[in-house]
Chains A and B, each alone.
Chain A
Amino acid sequence: MPSAELAPGDGAATAPITARSPLELFWRRLRTDKVALTALMFIGLLVLIAVLAPLIVKLVGAPAPDVQSSAALDPTFGSPTGPSSEHLFGVDKLGQDVFSRVVYGTRVSLQVAILSTGSAVIAGVLVGMFAGYYGGWVDTLLSRALDVLLAFPILLLGIGLASACSLGNGCAGGLIQPGLTVVVVVIAIATFPYIARIIRGQVLSLREKEFVEAARSLGASDRRIIFRQILPNLVAPIIVYSTLVLPQNILFEAALSFLGVGVQAPTASWGQMIADATEIFDTAWWFMVFPGVALVLTVLAFNLVGDGLQDALNPKRGR
């Protein structure tokens, strides 16, 4: 029998043994999770709606979100009218179109969610890494500071800060302006200590690992170790935690707006719409139901995606 050596190329063709990157593995696992995928697609749709809000409103033929059309109000009672061909979701107390306000409200929700989660993650990761890596007095100082922040009644802190900054010219010398900025800052402050605590814990164990020892013995600087050796290993927890915090932050924004200290009218926000609707819910259900459903679906979608990501990144995690 002629012993024929296999040509290198042949083997690869018949038995494709390629190394899969972690990203690829993650994607393969996620792909099988139909629920998470559906939720992800819904979020994609939301992003589209947010970006194309003016176009969608125009296509449907609805007025802009801040147009007060008194013709749509009951002339005798001044009460809002319900869904009709002219106003798909009815109008609110000022005759503003609920459909276009719900659509534009998507912008606020996503904007706040992304900005506040983003800044909370950056702040949390930085603080957590420094505390965990350096230990000693740096750790003590930062951890105690975090403890103090965690001990704050967050909603009260939010209401206090937001209402203090809602009057006149904002706070911190005009740096924090009423409206969106206040909301983002409040939510970021409320959220980042949790992230910092988790990251610190991870770093505490990572810094004892051999590859860190190795890097240190080769003379790598602290900065290089933190950002080049440790940070990449934190990607999974960061992603998982961000996706869990995101829907919470959407709710937080809604709560602040509900309490009247969030995004200010005439900018449309779901929480603010729900707050306005509570007084007249028994006569104008549409005013609360549509923004309410939008809020529930959005938060649910982010939660489901978060779960899916967690499973995909960490398949061994027990349920």
Chain B
Amino acid sequence: MTQRNLTFARRPLFAAYAAAAALALGACGSDSSDNGDSQADGGATSAGFDAAVPAGDQQKGGALKLLSSESFAHLDPGAAYFQLDYMVMFATHRSLYYFKPDDPKTAVPDLAEAAPQIAADNKTVTVKLKKGIKYGTNDTSSPVNGQEVKAADVKYAFERGFKPSVANGYLATYFKSIVGADKAKGGDVAGITTPDDYTIEFKLAEPFGATLAKALVMPITMPVPKSYASKFDAKQPNEYDSDPDKQAFSGPYMIKSSSPGKSLTLVRNPNWDEATDERPAYLDTIEWTLGTDPNVAGRQIMSGTGIVNGDTPAASTIKQFATAAKDRISFTPLGNRFVNINTQKKPFSDLNVRKAFAAALDRKAMQLTRGGTLTGDIATHLLPPTLAGHEEAGGADGTGADYLANPSGDMAVAQSYLKKAGFADGKYDGPAIRMLGDNSSPAKESAAVVRRALESLGMKVNLTSVEHSAFYTKFCNVVDQLKKIDVCANYGWLPDFADPYAMLNANFNGEAIVPVNNSNASLFDNEKVNADMNAAAQITDEAERAKAWGAIDRALVEQVAAVPWFWDKTPNVRSKDVHGVIAQWNAAWDLSYMSLEK
């Protein structure tokens, strides 16, 4: 998940398009809370070609262009863990389950035939596969070209994820309960079996079947034929990843050519059978240009034809579209942002000091640093509106905690908590606070607001500003470093799939703390919360599950495990002749659903 959160934060809400008629932008000076509300569902429902699965008026054919400044991290279904990678992977491969673009909460079968069967003891998950799905390759003489997808290919896709040459980033998070997964190094995993060619069975050591079943939307479930791929996987670096045009593709498109850092071309997969797939796949070709200046890309999308953004548009582009072309920009809610505070080190080991900081933080100013009300709502707790449990934890109004009541901060409340913590005059007078911040805009500005809040409590702040990736990989995801850090200012999280587990467990379960690649940057370890999370992960009933996670969210706010401040919305922009469709679960364009006007 590291890669995925990295990304997320790296691309401030990247973005996208459409439907922003619902944005309430038109009314100048409209109340910002109005704005927020209308957007909460505005991203999903809008006129025309919006994220709803397109009606029949769309036409086949045409070439779509995407422009991005960022490059892909991995174009291998086993290693991909990044928004941009996902856009390509989900167009070229088929996972067991996937989310239709307009519904980020309900997974539907793709490679699978029907919903997963979870055994009563929550320890076995069985998935039946569709028949007649075939691979396509660029090299038509390849033995795997035209070969049918079998359950063994999905099993191998999991197993290769444990190899160092693939090094999947989330297997250990969501699939560690599979029997044998804890010791897997790339060989056979005993807990994954294929009773026949079209059945795959996951046997779990612990009763986490419900959570595992939800994770079957991850790209690790995309089939990889062992006979074909094992020779690539044996090498380091892995050619299946570095030469993606050599892959065996099961999706509607194939990677025809890839030039790292420069371009990527997708063409139709001749062996893809639309009878087996609900995706319309209107486009003939997709050309992706990397390394484009965001401002230049914005202008090209605005005036050109057949172009959409591949990553976060520049602030000026967002402003331009939102004022002059409202129907060509949309904001898709996904993910959240919070300030991590070290709950194991003085002074923030004291709950009252944490509450004082939460009260002092001007979340309204934080929102403005990220682009105002358009790009997200001020958070009142941790679970964003897109996830189950959000309403149960208090919805937009929050849990009622006085230290999060005023979005602009409340110094009187802050001082009262400091007094409770033993600072008689309401001013902190202990040693300086060490804070880690991201040195690039807009995270840099957010960090400046955090610093200001700390200083308003009387704290002297030693700020270390580092590059975005170093913020995570060198500091805030490394326990030895975290022990010396009081505040990680720029933490953002994109849930891997629509379940509160994917949002809260890795970040706040004390049992999830690991020496490196640690996502619990608050080092928050509360026995009761840990136990509640472990229990909630096993609940299969959706309503019960939402209730349980909502209660956990409340407990985390009560404990101030972190200070939530933002529920992100990702902007996306398009040229006027593009029927844009946003995959809400990824907050990015869904290439298999988009089309061009003729």
> Min CB distance, A114 to chain B, in Å?
27
Query: With A76-B374, A77-B318 in contact, is A70–B368 under 8 Å at CB?
Result: yes
Chain A residues within 8 Å of B35, by CB: 76
Interface size on B, residues (CB 8 A): 34
Residues 127-166 of A at the B interface (beta carbon under 8 Å): 166
A70 touches B364 (CB 8 A): yes
Chain B residues within 8 Å of A276, by CB: 441
Residues 39-94 of B at the A interface (beta carbon under 8 Å): none
Q: Which of A70, A77, A260, A265 contacts B374, CB < 8 Å?
A: A77
Query: With A76-B35, A76-B322, A77-B322 in contact, is A68–B441 under 8 Å at CB?
Result: no
> Min CB distance, A165 to chain B, in Å?
12
Q: Which of B372, B445, B449 contacts A76, CB < 8 Å?
A: B372
Q: In terms of DSSP, what is the predominant structure of the interface of chain B? A: helix
The reply to whether the CB of B373 lies closer than 8 angstroms to some CB of chain A is yes
Residues 25-77 of A at the B interface (beta carbon under 8 Å): 66, 68, 70, 73-77
> Min CB distance, B11 to chain A, in Å?
15
CB-based nearest A residue for B374 = A76
B373 touches A76 (CB 8 A): yes
The reply to whether the CB of A318 lies closer than 8 angstroms to some CB of chain B is no
Among B315, B375, B439, B449: residue with most chain A CB under 10 A: B315
The stretch of A4-12, A205-213, A247-255, A278-286 in contact with B is A278-286
A68 touches B448 (CB 8 A): yes
The reply to whether the CB of A233 lies closer than 8 angstroms to some CB of chain B is no
Q: Which of A79, A166, A168 contacts B319, CB < 8 Å?
A: A79
CB-based nearest B residue for A282 = B316
CB-based nearest A residue for B452 = A68
A93 touches B372 (CB 8 A): no
Residues 59-107 of A at the B interface (beta carbon under 8 Å): 66, 68, 70, 73-79, 93-95
A79 to B371, CA, bound (A): 7
Chain B residues within 8 Å of A266, by CB: 448, 451-452
The reply to whether the CB of A167 lies closer than 8 angstroms to some CB of chain B is yes
Q: Mark B553-567, 1 if CB is under 8 A from A, else 0.
A: 000000000000000
A210 to B174, CA, bound (A): 89
A168 to B436, CA, bound (A): 10
Chain A residues within 8 Å of B364, by CB: 70
A79 to B315, CA, bound (A): 9
A285 to B451, CA, bound (A): 27
Q: Which of A95, A167, A260, A280 contacts B315, CB < 8 Å?
A: A280
Residues 253-304 of A at the B interface (beta carbon under 8 Å): 260, 264-266, 276, 279-280, 282-283
Chain B residues within 8 Å of A282, by CB: 295, 316
A76 touches B25 (CB 8 A): yes
B315 touches A94 (CB 8 A): no
B448 touches A75 (CB 8 A): no
Q: Which of A75, A79, A260, A279 contacts B32, CB < 8 Å?
A: A75
> Min CB distance, A183 to chain B, in Å?
16
CB-based nearest A residue for B24 = A76
A267 to B58, CA, bound (A): 56
A94 touches B449 (CB 8 A): yes
CB-based nearest B residue for A66 = B452
A68 touches B449 (CB 8 A): yes
Chain B residues within 8 Å of A283, by CB: 315-316, 319
Query: With A76-B25, A276-B441, A280-B315 in contact, is A168–B368 under 8 Å at CB?
Result: no
A95 to B362, CA, bound (A): 13
The reply to whether the CB of B369 lies closer than 8 angstroms to some CB of chain A is yes
Q: Mark B312-333, 1 if CB is under 8 A from A, else 0.
A: 0001101100100000000000
Among A68, A70, A77, A260: residue with most chain B CB under 10 A: A77
> Min CB distance, B456 to chain A, in Å?
10
Chain B residues within 8 Å of A166, by CB: 465
The reply to whether the CB of B464 lies closer than 8 angstroms to some CB of chain A is yes
A6 to B369, CA, bound (A): 86
CB-based nearest B residue for A166 = B465
The reply to whether the CB of B463 lies closer than 8 angstroms to some CB of chain A is yes
CB-based nearest B residue for A260 = B439
Q: Which of B315, B369, B373, B451 contacts A279, CB < 8 Å?
A: B315
The reply to whether the CB of B395 lies closer than 8 angstroms to some CB of chain A is no
CB-based nearest B residue for A67 = B452
A77 to B464, CA, bound (A): 28
The reply to whether the CB of B100 lies closer than 8 angstroms to some CB of chain A is no
A70 touches B408 (CB 8 A): yes
Chain A residues within 8 Å of B439, by CB: 260
A167 touches B362 (CB 8 A): no
Q: Which of B372, B448, B452, B466 contacts A78, CB < 8 Å?
A: B372
Q: Mark A195-224, 1 if CB is under 8 A from B, else 0.
A: 000000000000000000000000000000
A78 touches B368 (CB 8 A): yes
The reply to whether the CB of B180 lies closer than 8 angstroms to some CB of chain A is no
B371 touches A93 (CB 8 A): no
The reply to whether the CB of B365 lies closer than 8 angstroms to some CB of chain A is yes
A93 to B451, CA, bound (A): 15
CB-based nearest A residue for B442 = A93
Query: With A68-B449, A283-B316 in contact, is A167–B368 under 8 Å at CB?
Result: no
A94 touches B445 (CB 8 A): yes
> Min CB distance, A245 to chain B, in Å?
30
A66 to B449, CA, bound (A): 11
> Min CB distance, B267 to chain A, in Å?
36
A75 to B407, CA, bound (A): 13
Residues 1-41 of B at the A interface (beta carbon under 8 Å): 25, 32, 35
A264 touches B463 (CB 8 A): yes
Chain A residues within 8 Å of B150, by CB: none
Among A78, A266, A276: residue with most chain B CB under 10 A: A78
Known: A68-B449, A75-B372, A93-B445. 18 other contacts (CB 8 A): A68-B448, A70-B362, A70-B364, A73-B368, A75-B32, A75-B373, A76-B32, A76-B373, A77-B372, A79-B319, A93-B441, A94-B449, A95-B368, A166-B465, A167-B464, A266-B448, A279-B441, A282-B316
Interchain Cβ contacts under 8 Å between A and B, 8 examples: A66-B452, A75-B32, A94-B365, A94-B448, A94-B449, A168-B464, A264-B463, A280-B316
- Across chains A and B, which 6 residue pairs bring their CB atoms closest together, nearest first? A78-B372, A78-B368, A70-B365, A73-B368, A77-B372, A78-B371
B interface residues with partner A (beta carbon < 8 Å):
25, 32, 35, 295, 315-316, 318-319, 322, 362, 364-365, 367-375, 408, 439, 441-442, 445, 448-449, 451-452, 463-466
